[in-house]
Structure 1
Amino acid sequence: MSSRSAVTLRARTDADLDALYLIASDLDTWEERNPGRPAARTREAWQARMVERDTDPAYSLNFVIDVDGEAVGNVGLFEVDELARHAEVGIALIPSARGKGIGTEAMRRMLEFAFVRGNLRRVHLEVIASNAAAIRSYEKAGFVVEGRQREHAWVRGQYEDIVRMGILRSEWSGAPAA
């Protein structure tokens, strides 16, 4: 990421649909983004699913990752537990945005939203063990490994471990001093 690039989170617009569909239709990285079997969706089916999710409160905390006015991915909270004050986070980037620090910065911004605006006390995620770049990025954002589910995911012809990571508001570097 260049020093001039500004990573922001914002609501989705119609202009973002091409970039977001590029992510959704990328079968090479399906397992990094989805727990289920890879499926090629038509653009129409994908858009219908987005419209359905827009009305589902469980998916209402989704943002477009914007770099200098262009959509390069999405990040969101789901499975929000209003009583225990925790949620799972998911993130995905277009191929040209990976490996540039954009995902780490977007995750930091998502954590700020979760802890400051959403009043959550814990955020967690799951990642396949072979996705070392993502694990490093999550660690840079403050996540710690909490556990591992052995051979839990079927990924490109073999079983892989799922690494569970989390961060507490008290561990978050943006937390106000006590």
Structure 2
Amino acid sequence: MSTRPAVTLRARTDADLDALYSIATDLDTWEERNPGRPAVPPRTAWEERLTAREADPGSNRSFVIDVAGEAVGNVGLFEIDEVARHAEVGIALIPSARGKGIGTEAMRQILEFGFVRGNLRRVHLEVIASNAAAIRSYEKAGFVVEGRQREHAWVRGRYEDIVRMGLLRDEWRENRAAD
């Protein structure tokens, strides 16, 4: 049995802003996190948007990924549909936190939050096809490929497919029972 990293999901504090802004402005991983053209937002505009989104969460639930008291990323559910009970999930980590199981554990926790606390029926995500490490991590969490949008994203000078993945609450329960 493998040990999971000591990861907690928590609310954002002002002390987290530097780490979160470094993720938001990381052009090396822009396409893994955003569908649009790479553009570094000015810090003040980014903070204003973040504050506004948190003040009126509406259809979004966002958490800081914390390891040993330090912010190493964020994870959240967004575009939550209260009628159909589904949401999209997104996750981003600082470079030093990648490849250590932190993202997998954070995803496990946000899925539990969404399915148990949020009464969601389905969670989905989109990922560029070349992001093999992310796809493996999502499959490890129980997501299955539901479809593909061919040549849908412009990534570093070429078109790439977007892979759509989803997880139903019943599948999540089955995967959890098998762990």
Fold shared per TM-score above 0.5: yes
Count of residue pairs brought into register by the alignment: 176
Which position in structure 2 is the counterpart of 1:148? Answer: 148
When the two structures are superposed, what TM-score results if normalisation uses the length of structure 1?
0.93
Which position in structure 1 is the counterpart of 2:55? Answer: 55
CA contact 2:59–2:81 (8 Å) conserved in 1? no
> Structure 1 residue 175: deviation in Å?
5.7
> Structure 1 residue 57: deviation in Å?
2.8
CA contact 2:144–2:166 (8 Å) conserved in 1? yes
State the distance in 2 between where 1:18 and 1:128 align.
26
Which position in structure 1 is the counterpart of 2:133? Answer: 133
State the distance in 1 between where 2:156 and 2:172 align.
34
- 1:1-178 paired onto structure 2 within 5 Å: 3=3, 5-58=5-58, 60-173=60-173
1:37-91 CA-to-partner distances (Å, cap 9, x unmatched) read: 1111121111111112123334540000011111000000011110110000000
In structure 2, stretches of 5+ residues that fail to align are none
State the distance in 1 between where 2:152 and 2:95 align.
26
Amino acid at match of 2:103: G
State the distance in 1 between where 2:99 and 2:4 align.
17
Amino acid at match of 2:89: V
SS in 1 for 2:110: helix
CA contact 1:169–1:175 (8 Å) conserved in 2? no
When the two structures are superposed, what TM-score results if normalisation uses the length of structure 2?
0.93
1:111-141 CA-to-partner distances (Å, cap 9, x unmatched) read: 0000000000100000000000000000111
Compute the RMSD of aligned alpha carbons: 1.8
Q: Among all aligned residue pairs of Structure 1 and Structure 2, give the percentage whose two residues are the same amino acid.
A: 81
Q: Which is further off, 126-135 or 59-68? A: 59-68
In structure 1, stretches of 5+ residues that fail to align are none
Q: Which runs of 4+ in 1 moved over 2 A?
A: 2-5, 55-60, 173-177
State the distance in 2 between where 1:59 and 1:14 align.
23
CA contact 2:120–2:169 (8 Å) conserved in 1? yes
Q: Which is further off, 163-172 or 4-13? A: 4-13
SS in 2 for 1:125: strand
Shift in CA distance, 59/94, structure 1 to aligned 2, threshold 3 Å: farther
